[in-house]
Amino acid sequence: MTRRTWVILGATSIIAERFAHLAAQAGHHLILVGRDDPQLMLIAADIQLRYQVSCTSLCINMTEPPDLLLDILKQSDGESDLFIAHSDFADNAHLDPGAINRLLTINVLSTTILIHTYLNSKQTEHHLLFLSSVAACRGRAKNSLYGGSKAAIEIYLQGLQQSASKQQHITIARLGFIDTRQTYGVPGVFYAASPEACAKACWKAVHKKKRMFYYPFFWRVLMAIISRLPFFIYKKIKA
Amino acid sequence: MRSKKLLLTNFSRALSSESLCIRPEKEGQLSDYIYNNKINNLLARGAGLSYSDSCLNKEGYIVDMNRLNHLISFDTNSGVVVCQGGALFRDLFLLHPDYIPPVLPGTMHATVAGGIAHDVHGKNNPHAGSFGHHIQWFELHLNGKTFRCSREEHADLFHATIAGLGLTGIITRIAIRLKKASRYVEADHIPMTSFSSLMKEMKDTGLHYDYQVAWLDLLNPGQHSLLSLAKYGAPVPLRKKETHSIAKLPFGLIKQWNMKLFNTLYYKIKKKKEHLALEEFNNPLDTIAQWNRLYGPKGFIQFQAVFHQDEAETLEQLIALIRHHKATPTLAVLKLFEQNGEGLLSFCKPGFTIAIDFINNTEAKQAVMAMNQLITEINGRIYLAKDILLLPEQYQKMYPNHQSFTQILRNYHSPMHSDLATRLEIAE
């Protein structure tokens, strides 16, 4: 891959940060997008100092129409790649009309607009990686709206993969437990993979132009079983 | 931020204790959590690479600092880097090709805040002192306040925090002055056949070199050692880094017979001259991830002391104690200090310092306890980053500033605590 600019959405998440490190190490420029400005600037300075690449930050609230971001994605003076890690994680137990609106706006509405804008930008090549979740495989009592929002984007991307040109590469990463602040200290997390290893798997998948992969890999087997369980058994699991 | 119970070990894996852990990803989360939960039994833990119990806090809180590891700024003119406490020594090499960390501990994977908390030293103490000497300032989080500490501001906390074993607060940001020097060295490895001539050579020739360290064979009869002397040199093409990782083993692979054999071979086949990266010279063990697992589930223990009195004789007495107790010294390293550390509890003072790894067994513990007593009697000092067996009275005798240190903890009502602090009766 020649030098390109990776636009990282949700850049303050640890997986996105580690992915940004890999992209910077390979000499790519970076635009970090998120809503915590001081943390974004801290991460950007860190990457610039470590890898001597251009790394800028953009503070945006994903619930608002991100015009500024759309302009960046549409820009024609350079080629950019897109890493989508931003997400709202609200559990079903914490939903109210406000929370539902927020989750769907961030996870579905704004994500779809960004993907659409990016893939329609005039570039010779497109690389897009979307961080999905194993929660998208089957609706779970705990977080089915979150899982559903991930599934919506996955289905949208599957269609785009079908119609994609040879220069458009779309990768979906279905992640199991990764050692992030969302899983730290949560009961039932039996094995959480390191964010560094997860970012490496993403980087590798982008280069191998994979359409979809599970990380950690064993979740492919686990989800194959879980999604095929007869409902009367699935209902008893309820976790 | 959620917490979770974890069983943590020290680096030598000889000790373990369970603590409630939190892992902030932003500095703000740290202060909010401590303030909201009114925690008063707290310890910050970096890479967990200390050999002592200074990185453990039984039934208390541990703050995992590994995600507060960002580099913040670097001034190419002055060489001053500002970074978060969880940044690693290894990271400081990324900043500028002309600058290196002025003091390098035995592993580059240690955090810089851990480097301050133990006032770590390298193989260049006569020229560079210890790590604390190169600290411009740091921010210390203590009881909901952030103190900017330097030689001018909050100087009491500055000198207590350097080598303060993490007991004065949580170091969040640090300014370090890096050194303009090559990151490659030309090294000579000189075989020696007597420890007294080795010590003489280190005091005479060794001082003209940028780095010096000696490897000692304490397992075989005879007094074989290799004196490594290094000077900064021109760049060499880097060898492809090969890293290996050791899996968790149900038994130890390091035994007396194979280490004896290793020592004999190492002494014979070690190249006499090398031109290599500073990292390869200074931290050969860093290429094997988790080499501490080679010792099996019981781990190992390390003894490190500095002594000035009748140096060659003291070394012989130490070796006699090891042999008397039938302990197995697997690795021994000798260095020379000329400068005192700047912290109240700094280990460094002029003299020879010897570090010895032992297979963890009763014999080794008895030998280390006997050696600790000998070092106490001759006004030497045991390194608190390494020790697990020192007694409170011995600590008080060898660290003359211990009262001032405890007084500062009292003055600031420090909520910090560790297993080491309990053992040596440092914190109440």
- Cα–Cα distance, A4 to A17 (Å, whole number): 17
Please name the member of A14, A46, A51 whose beta carbon is closest to the beta carbon of B25: A14
The residue of chain A nearest to residue B27, with distances taken between CA atoms, is A39
What is the pLDDT at residue A233? 94
Q: Which helix (H) or strand (E) element contains residue A150?
A: helix A144-163
Which pLDDT does position B176 carry in this prediction? 98
Contacts of B1 in chain A (CB under 8 A): 181, 184
Per residue in A64-85, pLDDT tens? Answer: 766 778 887 777 567 899 999 9
List all residues of chain A from 171 to 190 with a beta carbon under 8 Å from chain B: 181, 184-186
**Do the chains contact at B94 and A49, CB–CB below 8 Å?**
yes
SS3 state of residue B27: helix
Ramachandran angles phi, psi of B331, nearest 5°: -145, 130
What pLDDT score does A238 carry?
66
Q: Least CB-CB distance to B71: which of A14, A50, A184?
A: A50
pLDDT at B309 over 90: no
Whole-angstrom Cα distance, residue A173 to residue B215?
49
SS3 B230: strand
Dihedral pair phi/psi, residue A182, rounded to 5°: -75, -30
C-beta atoms surrounding B74 within 10 Å: 20
* B320-339: average pLDDT: 97
* Per-residue model confidence (pLDDT) at position A58: 92
User: Hey, are the CB atoms on A51 and B94 less than 8 Å from each other?
Assistant: yes
Does position A141 have pLDDT exceeding 70, yes or no? yes
Q: Which residue of A has its CA nearest to B2?
A: A185
Amino acid at B107: T
Q: Enter the ipTM.
A: 0.93
Instruction: Tell me how far the alpha carbon of residue B388 is from its chain's centroid.
Output: 14
Q: Are the beta carbons of B2 and A184 separated by less than 8 Å?
A: yes
User: In chain A, at which residue ranges do the beta strands (DSSP E only) sit?
Assistant: 5-9, 29-34, 55-59, 80-84, 126-133, 168-175, 212-215
Distance between CA atoms of B203 and B206, rounded to whole angstroms? 6
| Residue B239: pLDDT band with limits 50, 70, 90 | confident
Mean pLDDT taken over chain B: 95
Four-residue CA torsion sign, A146, A147, A148, A152: positive
Identify the band that residue A122 occupies on the pLDDT scale cut at 50, 70 and 90: confident
**pLDDT for A63:** 79
> How many CB pairs (< 8 A) connect A and B?
38
Confidence at residue A1, expressed as pLDDT on a 0 to 100 scale: 52
- Minimal CA separation from B245 to chain A, in Å: 15
Check B73 against A49: CB less than 8 A apart.
Answer: yes
pLDDT in tens, B351-369: 999 999 999 999 999 999 9
The pLDDT score that the predictor gives to residue B388 is 97
**Chain A residue at shortest CA distance from B70:** A46
Does B245 contact chain A (CB < 8 Å)? no
Gap between the Cα atoms of B53 and B388, Å rounded: 6
Share of chain B above pLDDT 70, in %: 100
The predicted pLDDT at position A239 comes to 56
In this complex, the residue of A36, A49, A181 whose CB is nearest that of residue B95 is A49
Contacts 24+ apart (CB under 8 A), B90-95: B90/B279, B91/A50, B92/B176, B92/B178, B93/B183, B93/B279, B94/A49, B94/A50, B94/A51, B95/A49, B95/A50, B95/B71, B95/B178
Residue B40 confidence (pLDDT) = 83
Residue B401 has pLDDT above 60, yes or no: yes
- For chain B, what's the residue count? 428
pLDDT digit string, tens, across residues B282-300 = 999 998 889 999 999 999 9
Helix, strand, coil shares of chain B as percentages rounded to 5?
30, 30, 40
Contacts of B92 in chain A (CB under 8 A): none
Chain B residues with CB under 8 Å of A43 CB are: 70
Residue pair A195/A178 in contact (Cβ under 8 Å)? The answer is yes
**Residues of chain A found within 8 Å of residue B4, distances taken between Cβ atoms:** 184-185
Interface of B with A in 80-119 (CB under 8 A): 91, 94-95
* Of A177, A174, A198, residue with least CA distance to A188: A177
Q: Look at B163-172, B244-253, B296-305, B407-416 and tell me which has the smallest mean pLDDT.
A: B244-253
Q: What is the pTM of this model?
A: 0.95
Give me B184's structure tokens.
Answer: 């490659």
B280 falls in which pLDDT band (50, 70, 90)? very high
Give the Cα separation of B153 and B174 in Å (integer). Answer: 14
Q: Rounded to 5 degrees, what angle do the CA atoms B145, A184, B144 make?
A: 5
CB contact at 8 A, B165 and B421: yes
Residues of B within 8 A of A45 (CB-CB) are 70-73
CA closest to B71 among chain A residues: A46
- Per residue in B137-190, pLDDT (tens digit) is 999 999 889 999 999 999 999 999 999 999 999 999 999 999 999 999 999 999
Tokens of A231: 């409902």
B336 pLDDT more than 80? yes
For residues A11 and B179, give the distance between their C-alpha atoms in angstroms, rounded to a whole number.
Answer: 33
Q: What is the pLDDT of residue A172?
A: 98
The stretch B219-223 carries a mean pLDDT of 93
